[in-house]
Each structure stands twice: as structure tokens, then as C-alpha cells.
Amino acid sequence: MDESSLPWIILLAPLVSVAVIVFLTQGSRTISAGVSILAVLVSFVASCLVFHAPDPAGVNQITWLDFPALHVPIGVTIDQLSKTMLIVVTGIGALIHIYSAGYMKGDDGESRYFAGLSLFMFSMLGIVLANNFVMMFIFWELVGVSSYVLIGHWFFRDAPPAAANKAFITNRIGDFGFMLGILMLWLATKSVVFTEIEKSLGVSKFENLNLTAATLLIFCGTIGKSAQFPLHVWLPDAMEGPTPVSALIHAATMVAAGVYMLARVFFLVQASPDAQWVIAFIGTITSLMAASMAIQQNDIKRILAYSTLSQLGYMVMAIGMLSKEAAMFHLFTHAFFKALLFLGAGAVIYGMHHEQDIWKMGGLGKKMPLTCATFAVGTLALIGCPGFSGHFSKEMILAAALSGSKWTFAAALATAFLTSFYMVRLFVVVFLGEPKTDAAKHGHDAPPVMALPLVILAIPSFLAGYGFFISHFVPLHGTEAPGFVSLFAFLAFASGAVMAVLLYRGKKEDPIHIGLLANKYYFDEIYAALIRWTQELLARQCGRFDRWVLDGLVRLLSGGTYAAGFALRSFQVGNLQAYAFLFGAGIVAFLWYVVSK
């Protein structure tokens, strides 16, 4: 087999799986699950082969649209960036598929669920492989669709469909900006292919292109998909979906697509200094704000969701600080330990019969030793405990923050402190102390099919930061953090952890209560009010326009047509003469115009 066909296999295997499940195996849950897992394994193996092959020299693409004005190929990019991302997406994807087989057992919609997962894999791999904006945008939207399907998997309940809608609509806002950005670039450079745009940007300055505006519009896509402030509101709600989905889509891969996209078009960010500041600012705000919200949440998945927001903010900030390596490094390690944490949370929820409130748990460490141990690894990695993967990547992020200003560094440090605080709080409340409910007393470890992915994920969560591991994936050349950064990072980690232990050990309910944080800074309420208000205003104006202008026009025309038809129909002969007369009148009018000077 030709090596250049491997990327296509990676991309198409999940699509084939979707087709097979939808058209053939919808009846049998087991076969559907098998097909989907097989597909993702094929993609994974092919990804590994691609990973080990040297970067291909030529362009691997076929022409899709060959319009005079618009030339869009379907092509793949294989470079260090996409190779790393392929491994992350297919590797974690494969584990989560396997985990899902256990978690979703007995669910009526299992076939639909696996079709959705495969569709997601297809779209996500499309984003990773895309070599042009149009293709990326299409897969970008497809990812949104599959996320919608999966969040709303339990559509018969109240919350999931609402959450799915919220996610979809919020993303639309960002995507609109993304689309406008693509259009701006296309109109200026006459190309949508990344490499061609990069080349033409390097060769000449475009008079008609406001590069900062274009970059910021493209960044809107990231704001939506990676749930950055102010469009972050959808991600915590998206936790209404099944937990493996949260792990795969809303922690490890899809939400990281925004960061990946920025890394892919890094040349744009580099070329527009003004945009860099906005990006860094948004990232910093998001990370700090989300971390502060996390400390007052009680739902285990929501805490992790806010943590995801906060870490994504870190990555975006790093991009804004022009440290692509730091962002990708953190993306890489974060994908493993956050997936691990979510799967661990899933195991807890599974063991607790779908109870998600951490204050109804407690003492689970003894009941579920394996889950507890792996969860501990994930937590330590996330809070940046020395020796764990998160420590290394977080240090690089902090170093990147330092390169901006002391304020960003302080904000990043505060975030690190808060992260440590809320994660230890979570761990202490859930796994230590006494069981607080009956369900917690009878908790048990997950079945092997779910435990295996936990164990496998725990390994890279620990190791991924070390040089011998990461150097294969993200080239980190000569980016050593200054010593005092490490010191500050350690202090933030240690103080947060200690404070959380002291505050929460043996407590039956939350000793502190900060309404502003528990209510997420009232963002949902503000947005709801804002939307209601503008919508009402807009609707009223539209209604007016509709009633007076459109209706009037339609009525005038239809009434006119009817009246004319009626009048003419009563005179069969007059009808034809009238037609001929109108015809002649039209000609006379035109001729008069033409011959007149």
C-alpha cells in the first residue's frame, strides 16, 4: 500500500463505520460498538504508521472545487503538529471507545451513540488533517454537529437537549466570525490553502487586508470551540452528555481544536502583534475566571469542566505569547490527564448509580481503590505536582506568561494556585473521609473494560512531561524555564493543596460559600437577559417590517396578480390582447430608452 494513502485511511475509517452503523447494524448494539471500536483502532494504527514515517515531501491532495474564482483542494497536512494531534485524537479516542462499551452497556441508544462517536472521530480527524480553511471549516461544523448529537444523547430528559442547543448556538456565534475571517483572507490572497496563504503573506503586503481583523475573526472560531470568555458558557452545560463524551470531546480533543487551529495558522498570529495581545488577554481572563468558578461547584463533572476551561485559557494565552510549543505541550499532557480524570469521574458516577454531587460521596478511596489511585495520578498531573507531566507543561506556560508582563504571570500563578485548591478539594471530599450517603457506602470499582483505559491513561499522565517522551511529539528546543518560575509554581501548587486539605478534611458540607462564584459570575443570567431583551427588540422591529413592508409587498403583488388574472379571465379574447399589448408596451419602453440620448 502506498504511504500517501494512509492519511485517507485514518480519515475515512470512522466515516465507513458511521455508514455501516446507520445503514446496517442499527439493530444490534454489540456489533455497532464493535464496528466503531474497530474503525478507531484502524485509524490509530494508521496514525502510528504515519507517525513513524518521515514527513512526506509533496502535496497530498485532490481537487475538490475547481471554480474559476475558487480553487479548493481536499488535502492533508502531515507535519509534526498534525502527527502529534493524530496520536492524541486516535489514541485517547480508542481508549474512550473501549470505555464507552462498558459505560453505555444497556443504553437503548447505544448504536446511535457509537455512530455519533464515529462521526465525531471523522470530523475531528478532518480538522487535524485539513490543509485548507474551507475543509477545516466544514469539519469544524461537522464536529459541532456530532457534539450536538452526543450532548443531546439522552434527548428524552430535559437538560441534555437544552445543553446541546446551547452548545450548538453558542458555537455558531464564534463560527460566524471564523467564516468571515476565512472570507477576508480568501478575498485578499485568492487562496484558502494554509501554505499558499502563508507564502503570499510573506511575499507581499496586502493593501486591502486588515490582518489584525482577519486574525481576530479567525480567533473567534477558537473562542467558540475552545469555550473562551465570553463564549465559555456552553462547556459546563455540555456535561449533560454521557461522561465518555465529556472526556473525549469536551476535555481532550474537540475543545483543543481551537488551540490546534491557532497553532496551524500560527503565521497569522505572528504577523499581527495587536491580535496577539487580544488572544493573550482572552486566554488569561478565561483561565483565571474559570478556575475561580471551579472552587464553588458541587457537581464532579462541572468542576472538571471549569478546570478544562481554565487549562484551555492557559493554552490560548501561551499562543498569544507566541509560545506555540508551550501551548501544544500543555495540550498534549492535558489531553491525557483530563481524559483520565473524566473517565475516573465516570467510574465514580457509574459506581454511585449516576450520582454526581460530590457532597453525597466521600470515603470512596476504600471502596474503589483502582479508581482512586488513577484519579490521584490525574489530579497530581493537573495541579502540577513535581514529577508529573502537568508540572512540566505548566512551567512552560508560566514561563510564557512571564514573557508577557508581570500581570499575566501573576494571573497565571493565581490560576495555578486555584487549580491546586479546587482539585484537592474535590479529591478530599470524594475519596477521603467518611461515606456521606448509602450509595457511597456501597460504591464499587468499575468493570475491567472501563478500568483498563484508566490504567493505560494513567501512564502517559505521569510520563508525558519527561523529555524522552515529549521530544517525540512536541519539539521543545532550548525553552528552559527560569529557576524562580519553578519555585513560584511549586509554591502555588503546595499552598493550594495544603489549604484545601486543611479546609475540607472531614467536612460534611462546604465550609465556605461565595455566591458570585457558585453562580458563575451570573453569566448565564446576564446572557439570558441580554438575549431576551435584544431578541424582543429585534423581533418587534422584524414583526413591524414583516407586517408593513413584506406583507404589503406580497399582498400587493399577489392581490395584483389575482385581480389581473380575474379581470383578464373574464374576457378570454381581451386576455390575449392584453398580453400582446403589455409585450408591446415593454418593447416600446426599452426602445425609447435606447434610442433616446
The site for another protein (CB under 8 A) is made up of: 63-71, 553-554, 557-558, 561-562, 572, 575-576, 579-580, 582-587, 589-591, 593-595
User: Positive or negative CA dihedral for 347, 350, 352, 354?
Assistant: positive
Shortest Cβ 545–another protein spacing (Å): 12
Shortest Cβ 74–another protein spacing (Å): 10
Q: Are 248 and 120 in contact (CB under 8 A)?
A: yes
CB neighbours of 331 closer than 8 A, spacing ≥ 6? 88, 256, 259, 260, 315
Q: Write phi, then psi, for 479 (nearest 5 degrees).
A: -110, 75
Shortest Cβ 77–another protein spacing (Å): 20
Q: Are 429 and 302 in contact (CB under 8 A)?
A: no
Closest to 145 in 3D by CA, of 122, 128, 129: 122
Nearer to another protein, 134 or 279 (CB): 134
Q: Are 292 and 229 in contact (CB under 8 A)?
A: no
Shortest Cβ 582–another protein spacing (Å): 5
Shortest Cβ 156–another protein spacing (Å): 22
Nearer to another protein, 204 or 596 (CB): 596
Shortest Cβ 189–another protein spacing (Å): 15
Residue 281 grid cell? 488577554
Shortest Cβ 5–another protein spacing (Å): 19
Q: Write phi, then psi, for 24 (nearest 5 degrees).
A: -115, -50
Instruction: State the Rg of the chain over Cα.
Output: 28
Shortest Cβ 428–another protein spacing (Å): 52
Q: Output the CA–CA distances (angstroms, integers) from residue 290 to 9, 228, 509, 540, in the order listed.
A: 38, 10, 22, 36
The long-range contacts involving 124-128, CB below 8 angstroms and separated by at least 24 positions, are 124/89, 124/93, 124/253, 124/254, 124/257, 125/10, 125/11, 125/14, 125/43, 125/86, 125/89, 125/90, 126/11, 127/257, 127/260, 127/261, 128/82, 128/85, 128/86, 128/89, 128/260
Shortest Cβ 578–another protein spacing (Å): 8
Q: Write phi, then psi, for 444 (nearest 5 degrees).
A: -150, 160
Shortest Cβ 192–another protein spacing (Å): 14
Shortest Cβ 424–another protein spacing (Å): 50
Q: Output the CA–CA distances (angstroms, integers) from residue 281 to 45, 75, 408, in the order listed.
A: 39, 34, 8
Alpha helices in 53-158 (DSSP H): 80-103, 110-129, 133-151
Helix (H, G, I), strand (E, B) or coil at 513: coil
CB neighbours of 532 closer than 8 A, spacing ≥ 6? none
CA 328 from centre of chain: 15
Nearer to another protein, 447 or 565 (CB): 565
Nearer to another protein, 526 or 538 (CB): 538
Nearer to another protein, 71 or 507 (CB): 71
Nearer to another protein, 407 or 583 (CB): 583
Shortest Cβ 68–another protein spacing (Å): 4
Nearer to another protein, 66 or 438 (CB): 66
**CA triple 589-594-597, angle to 5 deg:** 115
Nearer to another protein, 63 or 519 (CB): 63
d(CA 446, CA 435): 18
Nearer to another protein, 119 or 316 (CB): 119
N- to C-terminal Cα separation, the chain? 72
Nearer to another protein, 553 or 567 (CB): 553
Q: Are 400 and 318 in contact (CB under 8 A)?
A: yes
Q: Write phi, then psi, for 423 (nearest 5 degrees).
A: -75, -40
Nearer to another protein, 11 or 216 (CB): 11
Nearer to another protein, 190 or 441 (CB): 190
d(CA 49, CA 6): 8
Label residues 315-339 b or e (16+ Cβ within 10 Å = b).
bbbbbbbbbbbbbbbbbbbbbbbbb
Q: Are 241 and 315 in contact (CB under 8 A)?
A: no
Shortest Cβ 203–another protein spacing (Å): 17
Nearer to another protein, 403 or 575 (CB): 575
Nearer to another protein, 68 or 478 (CB): 68
Nearer to another protein, 66 or 509 (CB): 66
Shortest Cβ 558–another protein spacing (Å): 3
Q: Write phi, then psi, for 132 (nearest 5 degrees).
A: -150, 165
Shortest Cβ 579–another protein spacing (Å): 5
